Structure 1
Amino acid sequence: MTARDWTGHEVARTLRKPTGADDKYSRGVVGLRTGSTRYPGAAVLGVEAAWRTGTGMARYLGPSRAQDLVLQRRPETVTADGRVQAWVIGSGTDAGERDAAETAALRGILSGDVPVVADAGALDLVPAASAPVIVTPHARELARLREALGLDPDAALDDDARERAALETAEALGGVVLSKGAVTMVAAAGGWVRRISTGTPWLATAGTGDVLGGVLGAVTAGAVAAGRTAVDDLAACAATAAWLHGTAGTVAAGRHGASGGPITALDVAEALPGVIADAFGAA
C-alpha cells in the first residue's frame, strides 16, 4: 500500500479558519438535498454536522417532514433555494423510491459546476455527472458504482486492493472517491491517495455516514469559498472530513472511559467543534 496517513497538521491547513473580514457567505455556503419521508433523520444529521463543522450557511432542500425536523433542531438553517459553494446529495434516500422530479433536480445539480458530495441514493446518477464529484460509498455501494462504470465490482478486498480500487474508480469518474471502512481510503483522479485511520469501531452505528456527508459538504464549501477547487483540493477536503469524523467519533466514545463506549451519530456531530479547535491549536 502506497497511501500515507492524513495528519492533523494537514487538516488544519485544509480547514478555513474565519477572520475578522469574513461574513457568512465568504465562509462557505453548503446546500443539502438529503433525507426522505422514510428517512428524515439523515437530513437532520447532515445539517447538524455541517453547522458543527463551521459552515457559514447551510441551505436545506427536501421533503416537508425532513425540513420540519431540520428547523426544529437547527432553526438557523435556510430552507430557500439559492447560491451554494458545495452540495451534499443522496444521504437518507433510496434511488428505487425517487420520483421523476427529484431525479431531474439531482441531475441538474450533477450537471452544474459546483462540487457535489454524492452518497447513498444519489450514487446511481454519478456516472453521468459533469460536476466535480466526491463520492462516499461503503463497500457494497462502491461495488455497485464500479459495476456501473464498467469496472470489476469485486476488486476491493484487502487494504491494498481497496487503495487500487479507489484510485481506479476516481480515474473513471474524474473526481474523488472516499471509500469508507475501518481504514478510510481517499483517492483522486491523477493519483492522489491517502488513508485515514482515526476512527473507532463505535462509529459503526446508524447515521454516522450522514454526519460524514455534512462535514464534507461544509469543508468543501469553505475550500471553494477560498478559491481551492482543483481535484487535489477536493481530495484534501475529503481526507480532512474523514479525519474529523473519525476523531470526533473517538472523542465521543472516549467520554465513556478509556475503552470507549456506545455513541450515537449526534454524539459525533456534537464532538466536532472541539476536535476542530484542537486541530487548529496543534497546527
Structure 2
Amino acid sequence: MLSYRHSFHAGNHADVLKHIVLMLIIENLKQKEKGFYYLDTHAGVGRYRLFDETAEKTAEFKEGIARLWERENLPEEVRRYVQIIKRLNYGGKELRYYAGSPLIAAGLLRAQDRALLTELHPTDFPLLRNNFKQYANISVKREDGFQQLKATLPPKERRGLVLIDPPYELKEDYDLTVKAIEEGYKRFATGIYALWYPVVLRQQTKRIFKGLENSGIRKILKIELALRPDSDQRGMTASGMIVVNPPWQLETQMKKILPYLTEVLVPQGTGHWSVQWITPE
C-alpha cells in the first residue's frame, strides 16, 4: 500500500517538531570536522508547494510553520529552523514552499558529508530524484528504506544519522520501525537513530516504546508534542521523535524549546509536551 503522500501534511506541527530535532542533531554532528553519513529511509519528495491542491486540501501548515513565520521572539534554535524555511522561500517574503527532511539535511551537509535518500512511492520518487540531481554528495534510490539499514550500515565514515519516518499506513509499521533500529544498531551501535512517530491510538505507539525497552539498547530519548489529550477518536493528537544515542545537548535544548512551541502551536491551551528517557545510558 502506497497511498500516503506527505504533501497533505507538509509544514504541520509534527513537521516542525521533527525538523527542529533533525536540524539540532546534524548541527551537533558538524561540530567535528570528519564527515558523516545521513540516511533518510522514507524521504518523500523533499520540497513541497503549500498552495497546490494536496497541501491546500488540508492546509495543515497553517497550524505549524505558519504560526512561527512572522514571530520575532523565537528561541535561537527555532529561529535557525525558520531561517532554513525562509531561504527556500527566497528570503522569507511569503510562505509558499516547505522543506522536507531531505532538503533540510541537504542545506546543512558539508562537502565531506554524504546522504542517501530512499523513497518507494511511484509518484514521489521521480520528484525526489529531480529535486536532488544537483547534489554531488546525495544519492537517491527507489528502494525499501528499512532494507538500507542492513545494506549500508556501518558507513565508511563511522559517524552518522538515520532518520526513520514511515507513513504508518499499516499496523506492522509500528513493529517494523523497532526491528529496523535493532538491525541498524547491530551493525552500527554508535550511530544516531531518529524515529518519528504519530499518536493516533496511544496503544499502537506504546508498542514502539515497549519494543525498544525490550531491545536492550541504551540511551533512547523520547520527545513528544501533543495538541490535545489522547483520544479514541479519529485523528492524530500528538507526535514525537525517539532518538537513539542523542547528542548530549539535545535533551536540554528540547526542554527549552517545547514550552514555546506548545504555547505558539497550541493556543487553545490543550497541548502538552514531554522529554523522557525510554532507556537511560
| TM-score above 0.5, yes or no | no
Which one has a larger percent strand, Structure 1 or Structure 2?
2
Which one has a larger percent helix, Structure 1 or Structure 2?
1
TM-score (norm 2): 0.36
